[in-house]
Amino acid sequence: MIKIKLNVDKYQYDIHSLFKAFYGNEDVKVIIAHASDEDFFASVFIRTDENSDDYTKGEVSVSVNSITEAVKFVDMKNLSKNDNASTSGAMGVDEDSLQADTSKNAVKKAIYLALKKETGRDLPWGNLTGIRPTRIAMNLIDDGKSDEEIYAYMKNTYFVSDEKIALSTSIARREKEILKDIDYENGYSLYIGIPFCPTTCLYCSFTSYPIGAYSKLVDDYISYLEKEIDYVAENFKDKTLDTIYIGGGTPTTLEPHQLERLIGYVQDKLDTSKVKEFTVESGRPDSITRDKLKTMKKMGVNRISVNPQTMRDETLKLIGRRHTVAQLIDSFNMAREEGFDNINMDIILGLPGETAEDVAYTIEEIKKLDPDDLTVHSLAIKRGSKLAEVLHEKELRGELKVPILESINNTEEMMHIAADGAKCLGLAPYYLYRQKNISGNFENTGYARSGKAGIYNILINEEVQSIVALGAGTVTKRVYGNGRIERCDNVKDIKLYMENITEMIDRKKQLFK
């Protein structure tokens, strides 16, 4: 275990995330301690000027073994005019230290510089610990900054690589173009969660229940979704519905008549005349039938997902997806035959045991299908997940070719293979987000043809529009005009959700009152 000593109760998440980014295979613990006999791998000491508690001026010192890095900070936004005019005083602030404009940035800078020297590594996203790097670029664009100014800021403040700066900046500009006709203030998007799957994939962290065991609850579940839809109809009748996204789980575990019932209720109760995108995740090929595709097409669904994750049958079996590559290809072709001209495919890089050659094979097979949208995920896995447990058992039985931690590994080569494949398909990157414990410190990126980008994907990740979420385990998000965001959630357990539907609706009423 890697233990880090910290002298104040601040920034534990960022400190943990950065050390974890460099030492992904280690347990990391941040301990607040002023004096201790414990053996610490590193220490983070934050000193404020004149013992002030406002953290507007001070210094951060980070020690890792024999390496020490110190970074001064001056939060120019929170200083008074007098302080602002005398920042070259006792702290000796210079141009370089002003680049670390806040105490948090200084902490992250000092840690990154120390760990870079200790490990000899640079991280593609530098010291960024947040999940939305494009938000930084987008805010700077809104402030009228040029690409050169954005580059300088992201390089000097966060040590982001040239490649990732260019990627996040191009995506931010593309997102702004795609969203230019969206009314953030008077519009909203609707998410409907279907928490059933044919089986639960071992890496999955979403709310999901096996449809075989819960099939008798589906019709009742839809009835409770209808109650939430009634709430939306009454309380958002003066708002513009921009996008609808039915996700899960796997929505196509519903039978054709159940899909028609649910979608029909939405269309009867809500004004869908201005909906720009209606997506249904049809991700599992073992849940797709021609009748379901016909139903969705008839009901106005214009975007679906048919997700392989990998085109290797051996890996599919390992991660708990009980379908074959052949089924995936048949389902995709069937969707094309039924008239769907905006089909997304998801793949995951860093799946257990897969190499760059496996990723290259997957990309070549996907090229043959020619999807309109390709989302490239980097596997994010927790040690306590079902996938980690299964892999550990296989390792003990000698069934893995390489040790467990080495078997889950995304690389820069894999990322480039996927990006080059998307480019060959005529797909451009249009949204990006990151996750905690993501393999290789990389990112998840969506690529799409012109006019086929998933609008909802951008809205949910950039958090620029309110999203009303219905169903078990979903989270509703209210975005205020000043950028403030508040959330309320529905309970994950299906039966509890149905038993407490009035409370679920009341939570939304309170959020949007």
Instruction: With a cut of 60, say whether residue 499 has pLDDT above it.
Output: yes
Going 132 to 134 to 135 to 136, the CA torsion angle's sign is positive
Quickly count: other Cβ atoms within 10 Å of residue 437's Cβ. 15
Predicted pLDDT of residue 386: 66
Question: In this model, does residue 383 exceed pLDDT 70?
Answer: no
List pLDDT tens digits, range 163-204: 999 999 999 999 999 999 998 989 999 999 999 876 665 555
CATH class, range 343-450: alpha beta
What single letter denotes the amino acid at residue 71?
V
pLDDT of 52 reads 66
Looking at the DSSP bridge assignments, the partners of residue 305 are 281, 344
Residue 452, by phi and psi: left (phi above 0), alpha (psi -120 to 50) or beta? alpha
Q: Is the pLDDT of residue 81 over 50?
A: no
Instruction: Kindly report the number of other CB atoms within 10 A of residue 46's CB atom.
Output: 21
Q: Report the C-alpha gap between 473 and 248 in whole angstroms.
A: 9
Q: What is the pLDDT of residue 322?
A: 80
pLDDT beyond 60 at 324: yes
- Assign 407 a pLDDT band (cuts: 50, 70, 90): low
Of all residues in the chain, the percent with pLDDT exceeding 90 is: 71
Where along the chain do the CATH 3.30.750 domains lie?
A: 343-450
Of 67-76, 136-145, 495-504, where does mean pLDDT reach its minimum?
67-76
Cα distances from 455 to residues 169, 243, 277, 452, in angstroms, run 18, 7, 7, 9
Q: Of 207, 294, 216, 214, which Cα lies nearest the Cα of 248?
A: 207
- The pLDDT-based confidence of 83 (bands split at 50, 70, 90) is very low
Of 380 and 246, the structure prediction assigns the larger pLDDT to 246
Query: What's the CA gap between 444 and 376, in Å, rounded?
Result: 6
pLDDT at 376: 96
Average pLDDT rounded to a whole number, residues 45-61: 85
Looking at residue 385, what is its pLDDT? 55
Which residue stretches of 5-142 are H helix? 12-22, 81-85, 95-98, 103-119, 133-142
Q: Is residue 399 very low, low, confident or very high in pLDDT (cuts 50, 70, 90)?
A: low
Q: What is the pLDDT of residue 441?
A: 78
Q: What is the pTM of this model?
A: 0.88
- Asked whether residue 365 carries a pLDDT value surpassing 60, the answer given is yes
Cα(286)–Cα(200) distance, integer angstroms: 12
Residue 237 tokens read as: 């009748």
* The pair of three-digit structure tokens given for residue 427, joined into one six-digit string: 């797909």
- Point out the least confidently predicted range of 105-109, 217-221, 245-249, 406-410: 406-410
Token pair recorded at residue 301: 């669904």
Distance CA 43, CA 500 (A): 47
Quick one: average pLDDT of 280-308?
A: 94
pLDDT at 89: 32
Average pLDDT over residues 416-442: 90
Spatial neighbors of 504 by CB under 8 A, at least 6 apart, are: 228, 490, 491, 497
Q: Indicate the residue type of 119.
A: T
pLDDT score for 279: 98
Report the pLDDT value the prediction gives residue 91, as an integer from 0 to 100.
32
The one-letter amino acid code at 410 reads: N
| Cβ-contact 277, 306 below 8 angstroms | no
**DSSP 8-state assignment for residue 440:** G
- Whether 14 has a pLDDT exceeding 50, the answer reads yes
* pLDDT (tens digit per residue) in 17-47: 999 999 987 889 999 997 777 789 999 999 9
